[in-house]
Amino acid sequence: MMLFAESKLGAQKLKNHMVMSAMTRCRAGIDGIVGDMTVEYYAQRASAGLIMSEGINISSTSLGTHLTPGIFNKAQIDAWKKVTSAVHQHGTLIYAELWHAGRVGHSVDRNGMLPVAPSAIAIRGTQHHTSLGKMDFEIPHALTDEEIDQTIQDYRQAAINAMEAGFDGIEFHAANGYLPHQFLSDNANQRSDRYGGSTENKSRYILEVMQVLINTIGSERVGIKLSPLHPYAGIVFQNPVATFTYLINELNKLDFAFLEIMKRGQGFPLLEGYPENDEIELFGSLSKNTLIANSAYTKQSGESELQKGLAKLISYGSSFLANPDLPARFEKDAALNKPDVKTFFLGGSKGYIDYPFMSSGN
């Protein structure tokens, strides 16, 4: 099967076609420093050909979710060095997913600072999980031009820090309703300047960040994650096909390592006017870059996706979370551990590093 065969990401060799996707786990300290449990967590799952780290905050002002890690000071960088070293000992690559949550946050976890966004428009109809429990989203602070420039420089510095920490590359998180996705959207971005109004202007932020990242650490070490039809955090497009067709065509003018496309989450409705087409075929076919397909794949569907020829790698989320030896289980058609949803975002070892490996008799 293609899933288990060696593969490549640019000039980098991968032991298989299976990627562990980025997953927020909320196991860092309040200071954004990852500990020994996180080292073990990633080392346990180093049978993947490539690991995407959980989202890593690029600055103190990018924080959205309590107990998520950062990579903007020396202590955080040094802690990540232990993770990357442990993963590399298994012959696996690991990329840092660089994250700015934008309006998906709350001042109670941001030292009293309001979250930021392209426009002062709050998320409605849902609540944020804070350190004090569920709370209504606040109206975010609309970023000034100077503050936008600062976030771009924060991405640049975070990429430099990721290289210092031993990561093999970075993934620019431009999906799932976070800041770059907010700039691109029609409802979260109501700006009238060079970052708002037209599709071209709304795409500008993502394209500028990508160019800075490529210039900073090299094209072969930069990837991007998009979720064209995923409405998480209240993101809405009037015409998602037109928007992402334009964005991907502009990304094609840049040289970078990969595009990861996350399909709409199974628990989210298809919004009115959105296409029912498969996102990998609809949007992946537009990209000239190596394509990673993400979301709810099984062994069979992942192999089928690879056989179609568009996607070159398949990323697995909750199945890797619950099965640290997922490639071996797939190869032997062994039973899979079921993910414990209740411990996805709770601190401690339970549901984090205590999922059993396949017994030697299987």
CATH of the domain at 83: 3.20.20.70
**Residue 353 falls inside a structural domain:** no
Give the chain as a 3 state SS string: CHHHCCEEECCEEECCCEEECCCCCCCCCCCCCCCHHHHHHHHHCCCCCEEEEEEEECCCCCCCCCCCCECCCHHHHHHHHHHHHHHHCCCCEEEEEEECCCCCCCHHHCCCCCCEECCCCCCCCCEEEECCEEEECCCCEECCHHHHHHHHHHHHHHHHHHHHCCCCEEEEECCCCCHHHHHHCCCCCCCCCCCCCCHHHHHHHHHHHHHHHHHHHCHHHEEEEECCCCCHHHCCCCCHHHHHHHHHHHHCCCCCCEEEEECCCCCCCCCCCCCCCCHHHHHHCCCCCEEEEECCCCHHHHHHHHHHCCCCEEEECHHHHHCCCHHHHHHHCCCCCCCCHHHCCCCCCCCCCCCCCCCCCC
pLDDT value at 285 more than 80: yes
Inside any domain, residue 190:
yes
For 159, the domain range is 2-343
Does position 220 have pLDDT exceeding 70, yes or no?
yes
Residues 6+ away with beta carbon under 8 Å from 50: 9, 14, 19, 20, 92, 93, 94, 95, 313
Instruction: State the pTM of this model.
Output: 0.97
Task: Quote the CA–CA distance of 179 and 174 in Å, as a whole number.
Answer: 7
Q: What is the largest CA-CA distance in the chain?
A: 63
Question: Is 351 inside any structural domain?
Answer: no
Instruction: Tell me whether residue 356 is in a domain.
Output: no
Helices 199-217 + 145-164 axis angle, to 10: 30
Beta-carbon contacts of residue 144 (< 8 Å; ≥ 6 apart): none
As for how many domains the chain has, the answer is: 1
Alpha carbon distance 246, 248 (integer Å): 6
pLDDT-derived band at 360 (thresholds 50, 70, 90) equals low
Distance CA 50, CA 292 (A): 11
- pLDDT per residue as tens digits for the range 328-355: 999 999 999 999 999 999 889 999 999 9
In the predicted model, what is the mean pLDDT of residues 22-35?
A: 98
Average pLDDT over residues 58-77: 98
Give me the catalytic one of 42, 178, 232, 355: 178
89-103, 147-161, 236-250, 265-279: which range is least confident on average? 265-279
Residue 360 is assigned to a structural domain of this protein: no
Residue 361 has pLDDT above 70, yes or no: no
Residue 130 lies in a domain: yes
Q: Residue 187: CA atoms inside 13 Å, Cβ hemisphere, count?
A: 15
| Tokens found for residue 292 | 């990673």
pLDDT score of 362 more than 60: no
Domain assignment present for residue 322? The answer is yes
Whether residue 274 lies in the annotated active site: no
- Nearest alpha carbon to residue 53 among 95, 99, 100, 9: 95
Neighbouring residues of 355: CB distance < 8 A, sequence distance ≥ 6: 321, 322, 323, 324, 337
Residue 300 scores a pLDDT above 70: yes
